[in-house]
Amino acid sequence: MLAKNVFLRAQEKTIAYFEQAGIVLSNEEQQMIEVADFGLNELEIQGLELITYINNDYYCAKELVLFPNQTCPEHKHPQIGELQGKTETFRCRFGKVYLYVEGLKTKKIQATVPTSSKNYYTVFNEIELNPGEQFTIPPNTLHWFQAGDDGAIVSEFSTTSRDEYDIFTDPRIKRVPEVSE
């Protein structure tokens, strides 16, 4: 469970990243910043900060913020009934992000796999994204990503997001954050 003071501090830090990158958020959007520690209680190592601009029956647009060397754990977006899994395009806006997807293993990856979860990281085909570069992840594809030393901001453009159905390789993960008072 994420302590309220840790949540608020992460929101403030996220706002500072947006300001540094020249991305303007309204006051309402700043209040809507989600802080996901995935129930692992190591936010600075495995976590994600995000704002969802829109998510409807056709498409979704988000900004993902990663603190320096912070990792979003390995997961995939599966088919749900008749609905195909989410297709998402990541476009790096600030910093550097290392994205790992299914495919040929990169001999020496740039990221550091989180020690406490090393058994749950299984895909190592590395795509390095710098500002202005993008990559599209097909539905039902295992992937994970980690910011470089300066952190990163990634714009995500996708089909409808149904995060509650994401399948993580680490069974300990809770996708919906729980914040304590």
Task: Identify the domain containing residue 52 by its residue range.
Answer: 2-180
- Which pLDDT does position 32 carry in this prediction? 96
- CATH of residue 155's domain is 2.60.120.10
DSSP strand pairing (134-137 vs 179-180): unpaired
pLDDT at 174: 87
181 pLDDT above the threshold of 80: no
3-state helix/strand/coil string of 81-120: CCECCCCEEEEEEEEEEEEEECCCCCCCCCCCCCHHHHHH
Query: Over the chain, what is the mean pLDDT?
Result: 96
pLDDT at 176 over 80: no
- Judge whether 109 and 125 are in contact, CB under 8 Å: no
Terminal C-alpha separation, the chain: 10
- In this predicted structure, the answer to whether residue 2 has a pLDDT above a threshold of 90 is no
pLDDT of residue 175: 77
Cα angle 99, 8, 15 (rounded to 5 degrees) comes to 55
Going by their DSSP bridges, the two strands 143-158 and 60-66 should be labelled as antiparallel
- What does the pLDDT read at residue 156? 98
Write the pLDDT tens digit of every residue in 118-158. Answer: 999 999 999 999 999 999 999 999 999 999 999 999 999 99
Residue 51's nearest CA partner among 12, 73, 25 is 25
Total number of domains in the chain: 1
CB 43 within 8 A of CB 10: yes
